[in-house]
Structure 1
Amino acid sequence: MPEATTATAVSRDVGTASGSGLEVARARRLVLLLALIAFGLKLIIAATTYGTNDIRHWTDFVNGVASRGPVGVYGIHFERSFYNHPPLIGYLLELVNFGRHHGFSIQFSIRSVASLADVASAALVFELLRRRRTLREATWAGGLVAFSPVLFVISGFHGNTDPIFVMLTLLALYLLGDRDKPVAGGIAMGLAIGIKIVPVVAVPALLVLALTKGRRPLIRFSAGFLAAFAVTWLPALIGQGPAVRKDVLGYAGSGISQWGLIQIGHWFGNPDWANFLIGTGRFPVVLLCAVVPALLVWRRPGMATEAVGLSLVAFLFLSPAFGTQYLVWAMAGAYLLNFGWATVYNLGAGLVLFKVYTRWSHGFPWDHANYWGLDHGELIGALLVWACLGTISGLGIRRILQQPGPI
């Protein structure tokens, strides 16, 4: 196994060859400008629309945190939902409640934080790719993430926290892999799983990446991760352990999934394999999406960025649960694997979401969208988007294995 400095040096040599320092600086400013313009537009949407029925749930949760605190909220029985978010969200909702007392609506605060995370995600995609692709591709990828129609719909209108954990996962990868800051990277990853459990699939790949750098980086990354985990999770596990285990760690999605393998199963009369995936089968899916990227990093340490992207893309592809906000999971990761197909996914998923939210809102422009599920045409569109993710996953694995490196 080569020292990590070798893999890092190779990556940086690629970035250096793809553009001079002045060209990189100009491209970076362009991506940041595009991301800030998109951020401003999302803020306008967030300030002038209500959003989806998720906003009602967030309102309940903010009120629950206000009355019982970020840990005590797990003990509240909500009429319209149950509190299924990891512990860091409770502290975020404390800030949202603070903003409410200073004139900022709950729906605006939730969506503005997600939209701000998108700015960082676009910048991080650029920084990660400029070291591994041409400067032109990195700039286009950063710009297309900044102006992604999927992120406009979910961050600017829908109202959920998925964009935040995606940004933190990218940040952990960047800090560990490109900046040689394992403690900070571990903290970022620990915060990511404090937002949602989903990015746990990226943790093994990052641990292996840290190990390829040496024992000390592995210890430092693990220490940062465990410190962030302890601060955010232990109070909730100690104070509300049964509720956290049942409603957060045991959460399997809500309603009837209309996505991927499960939707295909619905069309074939819900065979045993589909019922297995909905139930205990979801755990092997998590294991597969975590272990395969980690093994790929072990074989190709210089391709860790692609492997982390694969973990998020493949997890959405195989996920038995689905919500429209889940489409955010693969947005940045897809560009780390294949620019062309990532753009197809970006635009295709955006078109599907536009159709769905226009129907849910009883026309365009949108204001208040209520979840009704997907109609037949939307299901076909979603299936094509799902197949696109499978293509990206396969091409990503091939890209990783074709890269010269140790076996």
Structure 2
Amino acid sequence: MTSAFEANADGLIGPTHSYAGLSPGNLASALNKGEASNPRAAVLQGLQKMKLLADLGVPQFVLPPHERPNIPFLRGLGFSGSDKAVLEQAWRAAPGFAAAACSASSMWAANAATVTPSADTEDRRVHFTPANLITNLHRGLEAEQTTRALRALFPDRDIFKVHDPLPAAPHLSDEGAANHVRLCADHGEPGVNLLVWGREAWEAWDGAFPARQTREASEAIVRRHTAGRPVLARQSRAAIAGGTFHNDVVCVGTREALLFHQLAFEDTAGTKDAIRRMADGLFEPVFIEISDRELPLADAISSYLFNSMLVTLPGRDRLTLICPTETRDNDRSRAVAETLVSGNGPIGAVEYVDVRQSMRNGGGPACLRLRVVLTEEELDAANPAQRLTDELYARLSIWAATWYRDALTPADLADPALLDESRGALDELTEILDLGGDFYPFQSA
């Protein structure tokens, strides 16, 4: 058996973190639209979550935020002059595009890519497909820089294969690992890859909220990754209508365990049967279904119980659930969490983390991280400067306190001083993470 670990690559929250309400179907994003955010608290909360996981023995990496405001995008829309003039013109003439150009949404690394570990691929490389995220404009701007970031973190092409994103077409709409769960007996052994989709490419969609992942995108990723033992399951229409914009809002799994809400899948029995067939001879899946009576969908979404991180920790036989404090503060979700760990099931402990700044935009602990199963050799081949250590945590905490504002409204995004602050922060960050002097477009220019 090959020794392997489920590592995390968390998105570092950027200086323009704000509540602009850019994401239809994301209820928290809509609810908090226009309110003041605290970018400094946001990035420190994200770092504290990373530090907790690293201290618990989970290999933890840092993904850099994207350059925002995205001046090259605005120039492509015909705005010209100095960078500050471009920003000023865009806010005056096209505020919707300007807001999208300022979004810090790359922080949610669960949408960065879909990942297939080497144990499941024909060439025994770790495969990544960066998500094209075309459903929402502000997210669709991320794919190119995310690809660059993944190739910087995983540079060895004999070990890692970072594909280009799928073509940016509605038929191939791809939202990354937020719709992917891998189940296995051990991380180093072959597993089952569950990919959840919301609509078909040529399907006439009449839902109130968009179904973001197409079946055809998931199928293409399986082909290009040569992903072993795939199971494609349809996301529940009722869940999408209720505000489940990604499947990880109602489903989380690792090792043999799949924890999910009753409304996660359109065909729950068929999904379970397909997983069992693919797992036959490898492991016995453990399905933990939470009924809508135990936890109504509205409470599942507001508490983000299922957007927790289900992790294997050294020295613990049973899994640990890393939940947001909102799960603890909701009576129903807290009761479910306590029940999960009280018996002899696969989940043995629950811990709570404060990521309130992210949660108010609809992103919980699981949204902030990309899970990557790595062997010892693969772990060593990743960029060591991006692996979180006590020293890097301390340095990034000082960096954030130096550059980030403690209050930001959507109107503040038009402040030209924010452009200078953001670039100053990112310029220093590229040195800290050893990303080179031309990692961001403004550095190349």
TM-score, normalization: structure 1?
0.29
More helix per residue: 1 or 2? 1
Higher RCO, 1 vs 2 (CA within 8 Å, ≥6 residues apart): 2
More strand per residue: 1 or 2? 2
TM-score, normalization: structure 2?
0.27
